[in-house]
Structure formats: structure tokens, C-alpha cells
Amino acid sequence: MTVTEIMAELKSFGSESIKKILLKHGVKEPFFGVKVEHLKTILKKTKTDYQLALDLYATGNADAMYLAGLMADDKKMTKADLQTWAKQAVSQNISEYTVPWVAAGSNYGYELAMEWINSPEEHIAAAGWSTFSNLAALKSDDELDLPGLKSLMARVAKTIHQADNRVRSTMNGFIISTGAYVTPLTEYAMSTAHEIGAVTIDTGDTACKVPDAADYIVKTRARNNPVKKKKTVKC
């Protein structure tokens, strides 16, 4: 399929009701309001396609950008590709899901996450913390920099309550993911979660609730015992 054909199909799948919901969740124009199940219908036709994913992302349409993340060949993504994607990820679902998914599956996930969390731009910093969350869930413990992750959790404990809104959210998610999926750091993650306490996040005109990190870690590990890493974070 070509970009033109895919964009036409995305438009045909568009829903005003879905669009209204997504707007409340930080997705920004332009987009059609396409359900993920319909994106996956298109994905069945295209499969993984590095160049087509880049071209779709470059449209700036949030539906196409999300589809690009599902379609991307993560290992073929260059550092420059990922930097461009992070910069252009102004929609919340793209900065906190699409870009981190692909970055975590690439050859540059940890390196770029370390860079992104220091960005003064909220959506880029959020993408960095989400990338760390995905790395924790994907990579085996012996592939991870455990002292580095521990240091990052200490940083979260010191700075989360002063961080930008979406950065607070993704920092909280990082503590949860590390505690749930990185067994050698679970105890430290729980201690950090208790130290942080309640995290206040503006979720806008939505019913979304901020998960309590300690409770969420316990519940996740209870469901996933013994701990099994995720095969993919894309969904």
C-alpha cells in the first residue's frame, strides 16, 4: 500500500465520537479518530515496513503516526529517525506510547532515553521516561543497566513532584514498570514508591486515575508470577 492509499483508508475509518475521546486524552489535530483495531486491519496488509512507517509518520497525522509505530522495523531505525520522531511527537499517545515503543526496540533506546529525560520540552522528556519503562518490561535483567535504573529511580524520588505534568505521569509509570518487571530492583522500586507517595497529575476532562505505584507493582507481580518479560510493548 502507498501512503495515499493508507491515508484514504484511515479517513474512511475515522469516527467523530472516537476523535472527541482522543482529543480529551491529549491527541492533537490533524487526525481522523481511528480505533486501534482498524489500524491493525491496515497493518495486516502492510506488515513491518521501515520506509513506509517513516513516510506515514512524516504526514503529521496522529492516526498515521500511531500506525507508523506499529509498522516500524525498530532495528532499522537510525538515531536520527528516532530524534525526529521524538521531536514531532506532540500528541500524548505518540510521545508516551509510539515513540517509546520503537525506541525501546531499537539499538539506541537507553542512550536516547537518557538524553530525552533531560529535555526542557515536556513531550520529549515524557518520551524518555516511557522508553525506560518499556526497556524494563522488554529486556532481560542481565541486559539492563541495573545501577543506572536504580539511580534513575532515586532521581524520580527527588524530582517527580516538581516535574511537568506528563513527565510526572511517565516517571510514575517508570517506577511501576521497573518494580513489576525487574526483579532485582523490585524492593527498591517499592521503597521509592512509598517515599514518593501520592502523585498528582492533571488528567483533563477524563476519568483517568493516577495509579498508586506500590499497589500497582504488587498487583502486576501477583498476575505475572514468576515474572515474564513482554515479547512486545506495541498494542
The per-residue pLDDT for range 1-28, each reduced to its tens digit, is 999 999 999 999 999 999 999 999 999 9
The per-residue pLDDT for range 160-218, each reduced to its tens digit, is 999 999 999 999 999 999 999 999 999 999 999 999 999 999 999 999 999 999 999 99
Domains of the chain, by residue range, sit at 1-72, 95-228
What was the pLDDT predicted at 203?
94
Report, as an integer, the average pLDDT of 47-52.
98
Return the exposure string of 80-117: e unless at least 16 CB atoms fall within 10 Å of the residue's CB, then b: ebbbebbebbbbbbbbbbbbbbbbbbbebbbebbeebb
Regarding pTM above 0.75, the answer is: yes
What was the pLDDT predicted at 230?
96
What was the pLDDT predicted at 61?
98
What residues contact residue 19 under an 8 Å CB cut-off, 6+ apart? 31, 32, 33
What was the pLDDT predicted at 185?
98
